[in-house]
Amino acid sequence: MLKQSFEFSDFSQEAIKPISETIYSMLSGFSISSFVLGCSFPINLSDDEVSMLKHEFQFKLASAVEKNLSVPFDGELPDAEIIVDFNSSIVSIFIRSVYIEAKYNKFSREIAQTIFSCQKCRGRGCKECSFKGVSSIESVQELVAEQAMIFFQASGNKFHGQGREDVDVKMLGSGRSFVLELIEPKKRVVDVSELEKAINSFADGKVTVSSIVISSKQRIAELKESKARKLYLATVTCSSPPNHEVINSLLGKKIEIKQRTPNRVSKRRSDLVRERNCTITSVNILSSSVFQIELDAEAGLYIKEFISGDKGRSNPSISLLINADCVCSELDVLKISD
């Protein structure tokens, strides 16, 4: 939010010009197509006085701002929301974010989806994170937002994904949908095809994006609430050679699973037992103790824990079904259903 103080003495016609000029100066460099303006009048005024000022002073101030900016007052979906507070003599301006939607693929097992705060200082900044407050782990968010912020001349960003994969999991296939929110953008219209090229060049093969479009805030909730099934490829390593016939017998099976919140995420997730299902769509024996399976899984199933059993928190599990101690040594997302 932009903030700036202004000088004020009374609600005369002469007071309108300096306030409108302050607003014009604050919005210099911002490309906006509409605005809305409201006033917070002194708290010691009566309701009748406030009503009169809203009809006279506030209306004239909005008209002056409209003339200075050469953009219309529009309360439907304004690019800038202006509040003139006569109690604190401060103008506050909220610039509506720009939202871009796309899909990303991740080809590295060393990249997170979003920026990690430094675990030692929790984002405050310390020697371990070079006083940046963030982990040294690279992220999809950084690789995408670096160029997007340049194109839109934004002051910050937020990344909203359609779910997420772990750092060591590749995101293949047609990619995972996301919305990148660009905060306080000075530009609102860019060539998205050029932006896509710039991001992919900057990410240098570690991450690629496709199908960038200008989106809306509403899409964030829609992506978060979607229950898309996912197709995974999991490499399973067993502590001792299992029975290969038993492994092959899993092919085509739809498995109903009761899964308690995994230990590794229990600090940030409610401790619940969730019922999910998956179908083993292919089995490939790689060696005596290593095999691969493709799983068509319901949204919300923790694949690594389904394979290991997570000390009984996932029931059944691949370990239980083939009677061997198993771990997921590699995991790829092959497809996210539309």
**Catalytic positions, written as ranges:** 166
- Three-class DSSP category at 140: helix
> Cis (ω within 30 of 0) for the bond into 316?
yes
Q: In whole angstroms, give the CA distance from residue 5 to residue 235.
A: 61
Angle CA 235–254–245, to nearest 5? 55
- Three-class DSSP category at 92: strand
Q: In whole angstroms, give the CA distance from residue 247 to residue 292.
A: 10
Q: How far is CA 65 from the centre of its chain?
A: 34
Q: Say which DSSP state 289 is in.
A: S
Q: Of the candidates 7, 12, 185, which has an alpha carbon nearest to the alpha carbon of residue 84? A: 7
Question: What string of DSSP letters covers 71-88?
Answer: S-B-SSS-SEEEEEETTT
